[in-house]
Chain A
Amino acid sequence: MSQKIEISGYNAIPEEPQETLSMNPKKFALWLFIVSIIMIFAAMSSAYIVRKGDGNWLEFELPQVFWTSSVIILLSSITMQWAHHSAKKDNLGMLKISMVITFLLGVAFIIAQYMGWQDLQHRQIWLGGATSNPAGSFLYIMTGLHIFHLVTGIVFLLLVLIATFRDEIHAKAMNRMDMCTTYWHFLDFLWVYLFIFLLINH
């Protein structure tokens, strides 16, 4: 102990304060937004389960087209990753092609979801009104909320797409591309989660 106190005489040595842990704040903020979106859907899922447990629950088959839309969105994730990879390798031609394909697949997904809603309406499953049941209402709202977030994803995608055509995205400027890829994969994951959840609990 006494020896250690003597060391304090050595105060000519300036201590070097350590750098703090940090990552790119914008990417970090995106993850936090993703957390809050997860909480919205967690609330919806738990509300769904609680309400279903109360009984008086309409049983119906999910629209078949949801399988197609799942394939579409999974494919779009692959093309998104392909775009990310191309940007990293400075393969700008491939980047543009894959971004356009991802964008088109995103739009196709929304069309497929809309066809799913039409299918539900043909089977007299309504969002609201005297003949509706919370089982159907929940389905519309959860898929609708997902589509809403997907639209924000498409807007983001479109902004990055424009940036790629201005050659602003390349191996040395990957931030926006990284964030767009993260968000898009998240939206894909969110749909897969929702679909499995609905398959199990419908």
Chain B
Amino acid sequence: MATANLDIHDGAHAHSHDHDHEHEHHELGFIRSYVFSEDHKVIAKQYLITGLIWAFIGGFLSILFRIQLGFPEAKLFWLKPLLGGWIDDSGKLDANFYLALVTMHGTIMVFFVLTAGLSGTFSNYLIPLQVGARDMASGFMNMLSFWFFFLSSVLMFGSLFLSTGPAGGGWTVYPPLSAVKTANPGSEMGMTLWLVSMAFFIVSQLLGGVNYVTTVINLRTRGMSFSRLPLTVWAFFITAIIGLLSFPVLFSAALLLIFDREFHTSFFLSDLYVAGQALDNRGGSPILFQHLFWFLGHPEVYIVLLPALGITSEIIATNSRKPIFGYRAMIVSMLAIMVLSFIVWAHHMFVTGMNPFLGSIFMFLTLIIAVPSAVKAFNYITTLWRGNIVFTPAMLFSIGLVSLFISGGLTGVALGNSAIDIQLHDTYFVVAHFHLVMGSASFFGMMAGVYHWFPKMFGRMMDEKLGYVHFWMTFIGVYMVFFPMHYIGIAGFPRRYYSFTNFDFSKSFTDLNMFISIAAIVTFSSQLIFAFNFFYSIFKGRKAPQNPWHSTTLEWTAPVNPGHGNWVGEIPTVYRWPYDYSKPGAQEDFIPQTVPYAATPESNLPHEIDDEELYTDTPEVKSAH
């Protein structure tokens, strides 16, 4: 049966029949099953573990520069075994290396952790399982997607060990810092590796995104109409579309930057003096790069955030034992966010000398995003309202996401004003804003997803108590780290500065900075609890039941450890939407999507019977009318 189904998807390639046949009936070797696997579940786990490793590396880099910011007078000789020459003879962190640290922290977290680690993991894992497909549209492309990501990871990781250091011009790689090789030690080989690594990363994202969109549209099981898709799948679908439209633009920008660096073109460079020497570049515009970069860069924010929001929708509905409030409103607001995300990029550029009238248009469009975002926040809260809430660690992280989304989003409304932005631009206020709303919120979504789908992924449960400790330390820690940054930002302290003790206006923030750094170290350390819980539970966790959270979606109808092809025998058919929780009259407080209305006469609503009539055009029904 499985083979037959694959054949339908594989269409005209007659010879591919045998190929699929083999897949179904022969054990694959270790390399094909765990390394170069084409199974979406294995690829998802590869993404997850690579993403988690990156999260620890990226987090650790932030601890290094937090030590510098919190303890500017400290002697850091004890870091010498790790950082070597980057700690100078007086025990100080090298200033250029500090810039490289913030650059790599941003790049790693935005792209490798929250794009690949979040959307790569959960899109791969959940799309086929939740739409009822045996695998992704193209397992081969999916495998390529991961290995391009891996290659890009290796290059980026390698750049950390260059003697000139990794790229140091900020994760936004604005020229001329990134384009002129003499601008900063990191602008030499470090920047070259950054660009090559990102080029592979974009290829990986495009291969993945094409697969996600194709799978959602073409491989849904019978009955899985768009109005019955879980919100997770909607979120991944919209995320993939955003990625397909915006990553190519980053590719163009990176390509032009590569030409500026290696072939002496002048797209982004003009009339520069470096160390008293005039460069021969004429006629370029650095602002042009910012336009191209932020045309990706802003949608990227939603590429990072939307999967987390989708995961949250699913977990909050499941653990409130209530249907999601405003299912259609959720979809419409995600679509609205998708459209708006492409027409607000210039709010990152209010202070680049942009025409103030143009600024006011971008400001207006930016503020409109508050509307769909507020709809989503409202819907989460109303779903929780009077729900029969089960506080699993996943649920706590989801609720935490809603909190961070609101508190971080509110400052976004302030920052979106082009006038207020003049004061706040590039200060710690911005850092606080996006770390709450994009960084932490998405990270919480990722953690929620890991706790929630861990039983499906590894067939075992994670330890709940450790999960609670991890949640509370992270939740309180994140607020302790990022809330004080608002004050530093309002006072006008710029981000990316190596030292704030050199300036009179910022000297008084030493204590606050020390507080933030200590909070950051504690928060980072508490992630080790998660790491232990995660890896320990993979091998030694309690065995998971088939449907531990009493959830309605399709993935929980698959075996505890689904094999290649996900379902044994026929793919389940879908009869209802995914949020039939606590339906009045129903025997249990959840009805899986695979249960037909005919089996639940006690809980059917009038319009659901109407639907039934529509597609059973039988004489009995007509006569009963």
A positions within 8 Å CB-CB of B: 1, 3-26, 28-29, 32-33, 35-37, 39-40, 42-44, 46-47, 50-51, 54, 56-57, 127-130, 132-134, 137-138, 141, 145, 172-176
Contact = CB atoms under 8 A, between A and B. Distances in A.
Given A15-B596, A29-B211, A51-B267, 19 more contacts: A4-B609, A7-B621, A13-B612, A13-B618, A15-B598, A15-B611, A20-B220, A20-B221, A25-B218, A26-B137, A39-B246, A39-B248, A128-B266, A129-B264, A130-B280, A134-B265, A137-B259, A175-B11, A176-B12
Given A25-B219, A47-B288, A39 B245 contact: yes
A18 B615 contact: yes
B282 interface: yes
* A-B complex: 7 closest residue pairs judged by Cβ atoms: A17-B223, A128-B264, A130-B280, A175-B12, A39-B248, A43-B252, A25-B137
B259 A141 contact: yes
A29 B210 contact: yes
A33 B210 contact: yes
A25 B263 contact: no
15 contacts: A1-B606, A14-B598, A14-B616, A15-B616, A20-B220, A20-B222, A23-B218, A25-B11, A36-B248, A40-B251, A43-B253, A43-B295, A127-B259, A134-B267, A138-B267
The interface size bin for chain B is 35 or more
B244 A36 contact: yes
A40 B252 contact: yes
A37 B248 contact: yes
A54 B222 CA distance: 55
Contacts of A3: 625
B596 A10 contact: no
Contacts of B604: 8
B609 A22 contact: no
Contacts of A47: 252, 256, 267, 288, 291-292
Contact of B252 (A8, A44, A129): A44
Nearest to A1: B606
B283 interface: yes
A13 B620 contact: yes
Given A10-B621, A44-B252, A174-B12, A22 B606 contact: no
A36 B247 contact: yes
B226 to A, nearest CB: 9
A139 B598 CA distance: 65
Contacts of B266: 128, 132-134, 137
B278 to A, nearest CB: 10
Contact of A32 (B14, B210, B220, B253): B210
Interface string B252-273: 1101100100011111000000
Given A7-B624, A13-B598, A36-B244, A56 B214 contact: no
